[in-house]
Amino acid sequence: MKVLFCHGKEGTPNGTKATMVKEAFKNTNVPKLTNSFETADFLDDLTKVERLAKRADVLVGSSRGGALVAQARMKTRKVLIAPAWKKFQVVPYLNKDDIILHSKNDDLVPYEDSIKLVDMFGCTLIECGHDHRMSDKKTLDLIKDAIKGELR
């Protein structure tokens, strides 16, 4: 399985979630994305993500990376982790097979934003995690299961 993982604004290709995904799925690409709120940087990253997504079986994105994955015009299965789609004014492109993992205690990206995605697209929302970081062991295990397609 080929996985494309997009880290968040403060993340890196060597962050906790990115490292876990690379270790669990050997064929994982984690590009270096900009750590910016600027629209031009977001659009540059979106171009990069859409190009790399053509060779992936699953697109995974956390926070800003989740916004990028949500906006990517691909029919590839998507796993969004606390996606900051509203913060980056994204027009989501999702479907009922996509999965969102989000904590009700997230203090950076409102949980209600993920509920809106479920209402609009019928995707699955799994409440998990202790905060926006989504890096506790149980949540990391859920992320792995979502990538494998074992959650619905």
For 16-45, the pLDDT digits (tens) are: 999 999 999 999 999 999 989 999 999 999
Domain that residue 88 falls in: 3-148
Q: Please give the C-alpha separations between residue 123 and each of 27, 58, 118, 135, in angstroms, as whole numbers.
A: 25, 15, 5, 22
CATH of the domain at 22: 3.40.50.1820
Share the mean pLDDT of the chain. Answer: 96
Cα–Cα distance, 44 to 29 (Å, whole number): 17
Question: For 24, phi and psi rounded to 5 degrees?
Answer: -80, -30
Q: What is the pLDDT of residues 46-74, one digit of tens each?
A: 999 999 999 999 999 999 999 999 999 99
Give, as one character, the DSSP assignment of residue 66. H
Domain count, the chain: 1
Tell the residue number behind the tokens 């859409």, with chain if given: 50
Are the C-beta atoms of 76 and 143 separated by less than 8 Å? Answer: no
Residues 6 or more apart whose Cβ sits within 8 Å of residue 90 = 67, 70, 71
Of residues 18, 29, 28, the one with CA closest to residue 140: 18
Cα–Cα distance, 114 to 83 (Å, whole number): 7
Tell the residue number behind the tokens 């270790």, with chain if given: 23
